Amino acid sequence: MLEFMEGSHAVAEIVKRCRPQVIAAYPITPQTHIVEDLAQMVANCEIDAEYITVESEFSALSACLGASAAGSRVYSATTSQGLALMFEVCFNAAGMRQPIVMTIANRSLGAPLSIWNDQQDSISLRDSGWLQFYAEDNQETADLHMIAYKVCEDHDVLLPAFVCFDGFILTHTFEPVALPTQEEVDAYLPAFNPYQRLDAENPLSFGMYATPEYYTEFRYEVDRAQYRAKEAFIKAGREFGEQFGRDYSAPVEGYRLEDADTALVAMGSICGTAKDAIDEMREHGRKIGLLKIRTYRPFPAQEIADALKGVSTVAVLDKNISLGSGGAVGTEVKAALYGSGISVYDYIIALGGRDVRKRDIAAVVDLAEKGEGDMFYGLRTEVL
């Protein structure tokens, strides 16, 4: 049954049904509605969890790490500056192989201070070892949380994950969402079965230091686990589809790509606008398609190459900028298509909450087809 609700509320409702035992979070715009809703659920005895009102995002993730190591399923949510403050713990949690699920309400990073959406925050953590899943709408956001717990806790994976959805554009937007019942979630997501835990009956040391003889192999193991996570994601997504009728088994998802000459590549809510723009352009006879990246980490390079092999031009919409280099997604898409002969152009777009309309998408396509790219789109040169 579809219910009309705010994106943040949908996340809180699905997290409740995933039964975390420990929640630790710190308020930050635009993540706050999620953690407020969860706090109220704890206060109302709707959720059987400890809610730790930490004094910083740094401690939020540190507390999640401790609780996870002690054998509990955990949850946190953050964004932007909060995620930046967690930087050190992020690398640590992945290296210590703790299956923490954290929602990222994507937001830009200062300076200048901006509370509005882009994807700079989570993309800047691309090298941390966390899995990164990006949702297009609130239904997908809610569903990806269930899938994320299943993938992270798989003993062949044991990595933490960000479930990313765009700040304000999704967090504060009301959409119809189908929420599964508790029984349905329980049937999909088994109780947490930690691979190892802190336990006086079986004393183990967690987080020891490694000399050069061992460090490389630890990093190799995390890298391998990322690749195994792709298989686990495909499997968990397929199982989800079988149970709920919505299939998320594809790390990348094409839209009207079959006969496309030009393909857009994007992540998150901008995909919805792009699909509408593509429909309009196709009415005018233009062969345009979209490739949506759902799993940014592990990066689906082969899937991207396979999906785009019929197109001649690719335009990547990057809601981030690796300053001094280019858009992070564009750089990786170019690497994935290296040697294919496809022209790939990158567009830095929608930074700090700047709105993207269908005509902007069309303008990007025009630029790409003219061979103009690797640029900031829509730059207001009058204020430079």
Partner 1 sequence: MAEVEGGGCELFSAGHRACGGCGPALAARLLLKATGKNVIIAAATGCMEVFSTPYPETAWGVPWIHSLFENPAAVASGIEAALKRQGRTEKVVCIGGDGSTLDIGVLCISGAFERGHDITYICYDNEAYMNTGIQRSGATPYGASTTTSPAGPCSLGNPRPKKDMPAILAAHGAPYVATASIAYPNDFVQKVERAINTPGPCYIQVHTPCCTGWGFESGETLNMAKLAIETGLWVNYEMVDGRVEKAKKVRRKPVEEYLAKQKRFRHLFKPARRDDVIANIQAIADANAERFGIDIKRKESSE
221 binds partner 1 (CB under 8 A): no
Taking the complex as a whole, the smallest distance from the CB of residue 83 to partner 1 amounts, in Å, to 16
Pairing between β-strand 252-255 and β-strand 288-293 as defined by DSSP bridges: antiparallel
The yes or no reply on residue 244 touching partner 1 (CB under 8 A) is no
Residues 196, 206: Cα–Cα separation, whole Å? 10
Nearer to partner 1, 221 or 242 (CB): 221
By CB under 8 A, is residue 67 in contact with partner 1?
yes
Judged by CB under 8 A, does residue 207 bind partner 1? yes
The piece of 116-124, 194-202, 296-304, 310-318 that touches partner 1 (CB under 8 A) is: 194-202
Cα–Cα nearest to 115, from 127, 106, 125: 106
The correct pick among 39, 42, 54, 375 for binding partner 1 (CB under 8 A) is 54
Of the candidate spans 37-45, 210-218, 237-245, 272-280, the one that interacts with partner 1 by CB under 8 A turns out to be 210-218
**Pairing relation of β-strands 101-106 and 22-24?**
unpaired
Specify whether the backbone of 130 is left (phi greater than 0), alpha (psi in -120 to 50) or beta: beta
Judged by CB under 8 A, the residue of 45, 111, 200, 323 near partner 1 is: 200
Asked if residue 72 binds partner 1 (CB under 8 A), the reply is: yes
- Considering the complex, what minimum distance in angstroms separates the CB of residue 50 from partner 1? 4
Stretch that binds partner 1, among 109-117, 205-213, 266-274, 344-352 (CB under 8 A): 205-213
| Cβ nearer to partner 1, comparing 28 with 177 | 28
- Dihedral in degrees, nearest 10, Cα atoms 77, 163, 351, 369: 180
Q: Which stretch binds partner 1 (CB under 8 A): 43-51, 283-291, 347-355, 371-379?
A: 43-51
- Least distance to partner 1, CB of residue 220, Å: 15
Q: Is 87 in the site for partner 1 (CB under 8 A)?
A: no
Work out whether 45 is an interface residue with partner 1 (CB under 8 A).
no
Among 27, 42, 58, 363, binds partner 1 (CB under 8 A): 58
Using rule CB under 8 A, residue 152 touches partner 1: no
DSSP string, 257-288: -TT-SEEEEE-TTHHHHHHHHHHHHHHTT--E
| Rg (alpha carbons) of the chain, rounded to whole number | 20
Nearest to 253 by CA among 293, 302, 198: 293
Selected from 5, 64, 270, 337, the binder of partner 1 by CB under 8 A is 64
Q: Rank residues 71 and 378 by Cβ distance to partner 1 and give the closer one.
A: 71
Give the nearer residue to partner 1 in terms of CB position, either 10 or 96: 96
Helix axes 215-244, 87-95, angle to 10 degrees: 90
71-79, 101-109, 268-276, 281-289 -> range binding partner 1 (CB under 8 A) = 71-79
Distance from first CA to last CA of the chain, Å, rounded? 50
What span, in angstroms and rounded, lies between the C-alpha atoms of 22 and 39? Answer: 12
Q: Are 148 and 161 in contact (CB under 8 A)?
A: yes
Q: Can you tell me the distance from the alpha carbon of 169 to that of 267, in angstroms, rounded to the nearest whole number?
A: 13
Nearest CA to 254 out of 278, 230, 282 is that of 278
Q: 89, 94, 92: which is closest to 26 by C-alpha?
A: 89
Question: Is position 32 an interface residue for partner 1 (rule: CB under 8 A)?
Answer: no
Burial-class residue 31 by CB neighbours within 10 Å (0-12, 13-18, 19+): buried
- Identify which range of 67-75, 120-128, 287-295, 341-349 contacts partner 1 by CB under 8 A: 67-75
Footprint on this chain of partner 1 (rule: CB under 8 A)? 21-22, 24, 48-50, 52-56, 58-59, 62-72, 74, 88-89, 92, 96, 198-200, 202-211, 214
